[in-house]
Structure 1
């Protein structure tokens, strides 16, 4: 694992993506309780009591060179409001996934997710030099699917009977991606969306 990658802060106007550490445990436990996010059966969001194990798993994936995990901090309030992760990083194929993304309910439907995606995708394509970024979500998670499409990703396909969830239901997983030739247009689209958030708040 490249030390510079692990120590990088990704800074935007609204948020900062900070490399995830155990120091974020308490703040993330508070954030996830804003909306009781773990109760959404079609998502994989940790209960506050499971946050230590959640962070430990992320850091173990980082140690294997498969992931880079970030806590999302609001620049205006200073509060930690969620997290996101580069995962399934296949360095030899210059391909990775962006996932494990969740935000406190009060941060949803704001500029936060748009700017987070702009920051992490810029990092993936322009610093890590990947040629494809993948997104995966539950077929029934309509909010997530719509958000991924708004970013500018293309649906690649559906993995049927992909996973058995903790509640015993079977998940079909929808896969989307953005490839390097599409990134300039996607980047401009994200910048335009951020500008529209700013204009609507004035």
Structure 2
């Protein structure tokens, strides 16, 4: 299976559905309360249709595979996530462009989504490396990535321009195939504790 193939991924906690304009309404509601996150690129409610269009264009170009994240306990779409920076020839992918509604943060949703995405990358797509990147100042995201069992590869200094001309340092983590079994067990254990 290719990293770019649109496919539904699910487990007991989340259903990752190939992103479509049909998700616009729920995603607009899910953006409420994200204004505090200056260091991340969560869209505004008004920006959701354009963000869906942009991610679908990148999928058509072969660079991204985007999903809407549906929380199974409520049936609501609570965010987006993607495979991005896909290099199919090298079986290399990044999990990124992820944002979750404040109501889904620090719940089972992120761990369950990562379990589904990483399982798909390593088990169905035979990935040789999965990267996760975040803004240096996004300490919540950095801690969550480290808890997954991902290893920090380094920091790309002045990697991108951010809001208002700020310079973003990007922290790069990765998980390799031989690390996936331990990462999977850690995620399953965390999810089993509720």
* Structure-2-length-normalised TM-score: 0.96
Q: Aligned equivalents of 1:121 and 1:168: distance in 2? A: 33
* SS, match of residue 140 in structure 2: helix
Partner residue in 2 for 1:44: 41
Deviations 1:27-68 (A, max 9, x none): 1011011x2x14411001111111111111110111111111
Partner residue in 2 for 1:131: 128
* SS, match of residue 182 in structure 1: helix
Q: Structure 2: which 5+ residue stretches go unaligned? A: none
* SS, match of residue 167 in structure 1: helix
* SS, match of residue 31 in structure 2: helix
1:161 to 139, 158, 162: 158
Q: Structure 1: which 5+ residue stretches go unaligned? A: 198-202
Partner residue in 2 for 1:187: 184
- The offset of 1:195, in angstroms, is 0.9
**Going by fraction, where is helix more abundant, 1 or 2?**
1
Q: Aligned equivalents of 1:62 and 1:194: distance in 2? A: 30
Partner residue in 1 for 2:5: 5
2:81 to 84, 100, 109: 84
- The offset of 1:167, in angstroms, is 1.8
* SS, match of residue 63 in structure 2: coil
How many equivalent residue pairs? 193
* Structure-1-length-normalised TM-score: 0.92
Q: Aligned equivalents of 2:151 and 2:99: distance in 1? A: 21
- The offset of 1:74, in angstroms, is 1.4
